[in-house]
Structure 1
Amino acid sequence: MVSTYETIKNQARKIIHHYHSMELADWQSRPRTMSEYELWIDLLHLFKSQAIEASRLNDLTQSQQLVQDYFEDTTSSPPSPPTLDKLVRKVCDLVPSIYQALLNNKPLESIEELLQVAEPTPKQGTEPASEKVLSELMDAYLSENQLKGWKMRTIKQYEHSLFIALHHLGDGPVSSLNRTQGRELRATLVRLAKGKTQADITAKGLMACLTDNDAHRISVTTANNHMNRLREFFRWCESMGFIERNPLPDDNLPAPKSAKIAKRDPITDHEAKQIFSHRLFVEQRGVKTKQIQHASHFWLPLIAAYSGMRLGEISQLQVSNIRQISGINCFVVERSTDDQYIKTPNAVRAIPIHNELLRIGFLDFVDYIRSKGGKRLFNNIKLIQGNYSNKPSEWFIKNFRDALCPLPKNPVPKSL
């Protein structure tokens, strides 16, 4: 007798084969120019990146459409709703393999090897009756994802979410978890107080780190980010055979309606003039002392304003990331060292350095760092949990947005 797991897995593979065949047939339907081919390759990389992100965030929009289209195209009957939900989830995990197959120019019959890679095979001895405890599986999950090359920042985020879950659920057998506990964990996440660390939870207990005061709680978005990471962990437990069913509900916490239309207003010319008329930029004097304490205080806001780069991208710049391309001085955003990261594959780019930055001596600053044997432009900015931007952002907000009252709340580094 074929198990439900095997049935869902086989059905998901048929859907992936079907979609891959359609994509390939569409591309081969007529002769293509080289420019069309290059654009297609770029789109495949983009779609693969988006599909991987959708799988991690439990965004089932695309996979639901693929499953629905498959049953309509093949005029076959879909399974019952509970099985259909699991099928959609399985398809969501396999969608990136379609784009990888197309990128590798794999024919339909060769996609199977990609599906084998994308589909974790339950190991022997990991039946749902397994008595493995939660902490053991959390450690195994994080170790496995480190081997997959996850950024340290992502690992730390998952580690924090798993830490919260462990303190709520207790370190018992994972197979004993049920939907009631999952619902209770979901309700607890949104009551977490802002700024509570693992050290706080360890010292005071999780209950002491909860609050019913809306102003002091983490946002619904943050709570749902915890939910998505934990749901991903329990999906891994399910695929490995440690549990029969994900204990977490499929639905995220409802966000207030105002959050859907909430947006950050762009920084105005008047606000920018208030910031850049500060003595730090006009007289090149420190915020609290005569000397500028760190070069990053002066250069980061200016580079952000004149390039549109993310603060994390600027903070991690190496001397080697400043170079000429076709005679034009550029910032080159790339991952050239293990300590650098990029937000998406499409974030790799070259940005011409604005003439105003050249006029006030940015290249002279770069040459000075190079002459001293330095590699990073802003060595004072440390990598904290895989993130360079937290401390510079805090410094900017404290010394500009909050200090230059009555400056509105929207001027933050990202606004530039």
Structure 2
Amino acid sequence: MANSNGIFKRGSSHYLRVVLPLSHALRHQYKSGKVIVSLGACSYREALTAAAIKRAQILETTTPITSIKKILAPSSGAPFSYYLRDIYDRWIKSKPLSNDAINTCMRALLLYEEQTNNPPLHLLTRAQGDGFRAWLQEPERKTSSKTAYDRFTWVKTLLKYAYRDLEVISRHPWEGIELFKETTNQRRPWSGAELQTLFGQPLFQKYELPRDWRCGKDAAYWIPLLGLYTGARLSELAQLRAVDILSEGEIPSISITNLGSNQQLKTLASKRTIPIHSELIRLGFLGYANKIKVDNQDSLWPQLSQRKSKPGGYFSNWFGEYRARIGLKGYPDFHCFRHTVRSKLGESETSEHVIDAILGHEIKGSIGAKVYMHRTLKTLQAGVELLTYEQLSMTSIYKS
């Protein structure tokens, strides 16, 4: 007799009974509306995991002739064979992930399958991990050490998920095998002289907006300033909506969120509210945001084209070329504004919890610290207002 989860046992083998929806592609092949799948000879705990994967595979099948044969194939009493692609299919549904993360992980998976010949996970060895690591770094592959590191790390992430979350393997076969990357460019804070060079340009001193379509007109002026006074990522700022500027309360603030149809966040900790610095208010940012709202625009930057997987992609290309033209090639780049903000707050002896809350980093420490370390807007505002740049002299020139 099957349990409520559809699993039942005959002899030494477990089986799964799946009831098909009326609209399912397999319904015409199974008049009873039920599919019986062998899970092989395994423990009940292993059967639970195997059943979860097979049930998902069956219910998602749209090509019954080709797909179902592989899904329903008996395991002949051998250990149930999971492949890394099975784990990938489960992993991408396990939590909110950006398209960039999903696609990058898939590229790493394809390389893994190519080099290792894709063995069942219970047969994967440490020697194969060492071989894959070496293969990724071979000179003929013309891959940077960072790219090789990232690809190796993505595969280890899937293996960790298979071991710890799904428990479909008894150990993490590549745990402790590391691929070290070379640090080619160390990001750092902007120096005072570099900030003077950037914000001393006519763009910021006279509001002379560039004509390059990639800069998003007004975005070219406001986004670098927001980066300097919030430490937010370029992608977070580029995808802001007008409604994300909260100007009605006692403390005007910016909501970094993924609630919009095209908004995405790097991590769950990235979702946060940042008080708007008084300097941004003095320069007219709230006036700009209110004008966009009055015009019934959704995006805070109506003229900024969005790259699908990287919201700030076009802006980043323009900003890099703009910096080069004014003598700021290479580093510091836009992301260095985050390092500038963290450095400034650290020098002001702001607590790490407040810094993490402003920058959208995972709060470090015990579970208690993570759960109860709620910071009010007043606390965050006090931290934000510590961001001062004595080298800069800017006039309020924005006219709504």
TM-score under structure 1 normalisation? 0.54
- The SS at the match of 1:332 is strand
Structure 1 gaps of 5+ residues are: 1-115, 193-206, 212-216
The letter of the residue matching 1:415 is C
Distance 1:345 1:236, change over 3 A: closer
- The SS at the match of 2:273 is strand
Residue of structure 2 aligned with 1:319, choices 216, 225, 242: 242
Q: Is the 8 A contact 2:241 2:300 kept in 1?
A: yes
The letter of the residue matching 1:299 is W
- TM-fit CA distance, 1:238: 5.6
Superposed CA RMSD: 3.8
Matched residue, 1:404: 326
Residue of structure 2 aligned with 1:340, choices 254, 257, 263: 263
- TM-fit CA distance, 1:300: 0.9
The alignment status of 1:266 with 2:192, answered yes or no, reads: no
The alignment status of 1:156 with 2:103, answered yes or no, reads: yes
The letter of the residue matching 1:182 is G
- The SS at the match of 2:255 is strand
Q: Could you tell me how far apart the structure 1 residues matched to 2:232 and 2:117 are? A: 43
Q: 347-356 or 281-290, which moves further after superposition? A: 281-290
Matched residue, 2:26: none
Matched residue, 2:180: 254
Matched residue, 1:144: 90
Identity %: 22
The letter of the residue matching 2:114 is H
Q: Could you tell me how far apart the structure 2 residues matched to 1:120 and 1:301 are? A: 51
- TM-fit CA distance, 1:316: 1.7
Matched residue, 1:414: 335
The alignment status of 1:353 with 2:276, answered yes or no, reads: yes
Distance 1:397 1:253, change over 3 A: same
Q: Could you tell me how far apart the structure 2 residues matched to 1:300 and 1:344 are? A: 21
The letter of the residue matching 1:303 is L
For each residue in 1:252-291, what CA deviation from the matched residue of structure 2 results, as whole angstroms up to 9, or x when unmatched? 12355xx49x843311121111111222223333445699
The alignment status of 1:285 with 2:208, answered yes or no, reads: yes
The letter of the residue matching 2:274 is I
Q: Is the 8 A contact 1:186 1:253 kept in 2?
A: yes
Distance 1:250 1:282, change over 3 A: same
Matched residue, 1:230: 155
Q: Could you tell me how far apart the structure 1 residues matched to 2:243 and 2:79 are? A: 54
Distance 1:290 1:413, change over 3 A: closer
The letter of the residue matching 2:336 is S
TM-score under structure 2 normalisation? 0.56
- TM-fit CA distance, 1:381: 4.1
Residue of structure 2 aligned with 1:121, choices 44, 49, 54: 49
Matched residue, 1:37: none
- TM-fit CA distance, 1:349: 3.1
The letter of the residue matching 2:205 is V
List aligned pairs for 1:365-404, cutoff 5 A: 365-379=288-302, 380-385=304-309, 387-400=310-323, 402-404=324-326
- The SS at the match of 1:147 is coil
Distance 1:244 1:336, change over 3 A: closer
Matched residue, 2:113: 166
- Give the count of matched residue pairs: 268
Q: Could you tell me how far apart the structure 2 residues matched to 1:163 and 1:368 are? A: 48
Matched residue, 1:219: 145
Distance 1:283 1:364, change over 3 A: same
The letter of the residue matching 2:144 is I
The letter of the residue matching 1:145 is W
- TM-fit CA distance, 1:323: 1.0
Q: Could you tell me how far apart the structure 1 residues matched to 2:216 and 2:334 are? A: 19
Bigger share in helix: 1
Distance 1:128 1:161, change over 3 A: farther
Q: Is the 8 A contact 1:393 1:412 kept in 2?
A: no
Q: Could you tell me how far apart the structure 2 residues matched to 1:289 and 1:227 are? A: 38
Structure 2 gaps of 5+ residues are: 1-43, 55-73, 338-400
Q: Could you tell me how far apart the structure 1 residues matched to 2:321 and 2:243 are? A: 31
Q: Is the 8 A contact 1:280 1:292 kept in 2?
A: no
Residue of structure 2 aligned with 1:183, choices 130, 143, 164: 130
- The SS at the match of 1:320 is helix
